[in-house]
Amino acid sequence: MMIHKRWLLLVLLGLAALGAHGQEKKVQWVRFEKAVELNKEEPKKILIDVYTDWCGWCKKMKKETFNHPAIAQYINQHFYPVRFNAEGNQQVTFKGKTFKRKDTGGRKTHELAVALLQGRMSYPSVAYMDENNQLITAVPGYYSPKDIEPILKFFTNDAYKKQSYEDFKKEFTRTLTD
């Protein structure tokens, strides 16, 4: 009986370890307000995937780029990742202002998406914020795992403070093997 309990315990611990390992291979998305809150406790940059439900390239980027194990692990380690629907209904309070979806003519666009993308509404776009919750920039377009790797490292290494992305990319050594 004691052997069976130990065996069961080992099996359960093994399954738990596999589950935890599997979690690292998917981006651990949080809500925007949660990322800002977490940033107070342990400062990191914030990565915001600004998407819409109707955007095919957004879906492709979510499936292929953000689900790539090495990219997901890197994002989880270096950023607070947020998926933000640019046409969503959620209200977001940030820096004392409440942002919500507004009817801007054709589409109902969220005010926070407009602020993050600085009015350049292109999907998908990834907005990057620093550890002080200040917008660094937004990068529009679809990026494959190998194409987003230098962009992620450009921001996490603070290279954006010292050089252009073009200069950074010339010296960049890819670590992604897939």
User: In this predicted structure, what is the pLDDT of residue 178?
Assistant: 56
pTM confidence score: 0.84
User: In this predicted structure, what is the pLDDT of residue 176?
Assistant: 73
Q: Name every residue whose Cβ is closer than 8 Å to that of residue 112 and which is 6 or more positions away in sequence.
A: 32, 84, 92, 94, 99
Across 8-106, the runs of DSSP E, i.e. the strands, are 45-51, 79-85, 92-94, 97-99, 101-103
Q: Name every residue whose Cβ is closer than 8 Å to that of residue 146 and which is 6 or more positions away in sequence.
A: 174, 176, 178
For the chain, the domains span 24-143
Write down the architecture of domain 24-143 according to CATH. Answer: 3-Layer(aba) Sandwich (3.40)
> How many Å apart are CA 174 and CA 90, to the nearest integer?
38
Give 10-residue mean pLDDT values along the chain (178 residues).
48 43 76 96 97 96 96 97 95 93 81 95 97 97 96 96 95 78
User: In this predicted structure, what is the pLDDT of residue 22?
Assistant: 45
10 Å Cβ neighbour count for 105? 7
| DSSP character at residue 172 | -
